[in-house]
């Protein structure tokens, strides 16, 4: 633990924790939307289990970093294009996110009949929701782990940053979830954000790099506009 006596270690920990929180935004939005499909009494349980599993998955992947690096090795080469297991995981995860987000947007626009709503409520069990969360946790973990490895050589700092960032997200998960689900326009923005993230994952799997900063800036700008719209609507109804 002597490493924590060095100022560089604390700077690295704070920087990495901040980046892990930023990279976890898409994860927590997805968890909020999936948990909202459950009965009220199970939503908190699904969010908590989902984020705790994210901690376990990411820490396990950090300790298996040599295995992660092997997943980036090409398994198939077509002319100049090299395909790895990581690429396949990103593409499959991106397609799943696109399908899930599109389905949610369609449901919000078209609405459900009473029979369809009852059917979907029965299908959306806690275990089903957690399976979806775990699937996306694995996909989102690749960005998180590769960022951690790129910024620090010390496994203890990487583990601490991942655990702290996810505990912070766990602390604010309910507030974020309530805010997203209580505001229909914000929820639609969140779903559009997940659509962009899904597209980004597919492009990343196809070796087309698009900086995530553009996506996060777009989300922040859209939320700022929506906040101003809400303030204006409140003034009109006052």
43 close to 123: Cβ distance less than 8 angstroms: no
Q: What is the pTM of this model?
A: 0.69
The mean pLDDT of 80-93, rounded to a whole number, is 83
126 HSE (CA, 13 A, CB side): 12
Integer Rg of the chain from CA: 19
Q: Which residue has the higher pLDDT, 1 or 25?
A: 25
Calpha distance 176→167 (Å, rounded): 14
Say what the pLDDT of residue 215 is. 76
| H or E element, residue 153 | none
What's phi and psi for 196, nearest 5 deg? -65, -40
Calpha distance 3→156 (Å, rounded): 9
pLDDT grade for 116, boundaries at 50, 70 and 90 = very low
Q: pLDDT tens, 130-149?
A: 888 888 877 777 766 766 66
Calpha distance 128→132 (Å, rounded): 7
Please say if the pLDDT value at position 26 is more than 50.
yes
Q: pLDDT tens, 152-195?
A: 667 788 888 888 888 888 888 888 888 877 777 888 888 888 88
179 close to 230: Cβ distance less than 8 angstroms: no
What's phi and psi for 209, nearest 5 deg? -90, 125
Q: Give the whole-number percent of the chain exceeding pLDDT 90.
A: 0
**Domain residues of the chain, as ranges?**
2-237
Beta bridge partners of 82: 77
The mean pLDDT of 11-36, rounded to a whole number, is 80
Cα distance from N-terminal residue to C-terminal residue, the chain? 58
Please say if the pLDDT value at position 101 is more than 60.
yes
Say what the pLDDT of residue 149 is. 65
pLDDT grade for 119, boundaries at 50, 70 and 90 = very low
Calpha distance 19→8 (Å, rounded): 16
The mean pLDDT of 206-212, rounded to a whole number, is 82
């Amino acid at each position: 633990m002597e490493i924590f006596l060095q100022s560089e270690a604390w700077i690295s920990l704070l920087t990495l924790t901040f980046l892990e929180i930023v990279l976890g935004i898409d994860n927590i939005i997805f968890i909020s939307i999936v948990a909202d499909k459950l009965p009220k009494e199970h939503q908190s349980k699904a969010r908590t289990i989902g984020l705790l599993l994210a901690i376990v998955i990411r820490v396990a992947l950090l300790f298996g970093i040599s295995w992660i690096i092997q997943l980036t090795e090409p398994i198939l080469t077509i002319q100049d294009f090299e395909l790895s297991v990581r690429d396949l995981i990103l593409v499959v995860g991106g397609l799943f996110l696109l399908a899930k987000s599109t389905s949610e947007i369609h449901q919000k626009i078209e609405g459900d009949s009473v029979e369809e709503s009852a059917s979907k409520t029965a299908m959306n069990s806690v275990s089903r929701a957690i399976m979806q969360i775990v699937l996306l946790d694995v996909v989102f973990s690749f960005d998180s782990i590769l960022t951690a490895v790129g910024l620090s050589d010390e496994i203890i700092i990487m583990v601490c940053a991942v655990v702290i960032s996810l505990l912070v997200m766990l602390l604010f998960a309910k507030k974020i979830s309530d805010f997203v689900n209580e505001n229909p326009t914000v929820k639609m923005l969140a779903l559009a954000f997940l659509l962009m993230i899904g597209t980004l994952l597919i492009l990343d799997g196809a070796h087309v790099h698009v900086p995530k900063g553009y996506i996060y800036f777009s989300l922040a700008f859209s939320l700022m506009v929506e906040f101003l719209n809400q303030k204006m609507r409140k003034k009109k109804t006052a």
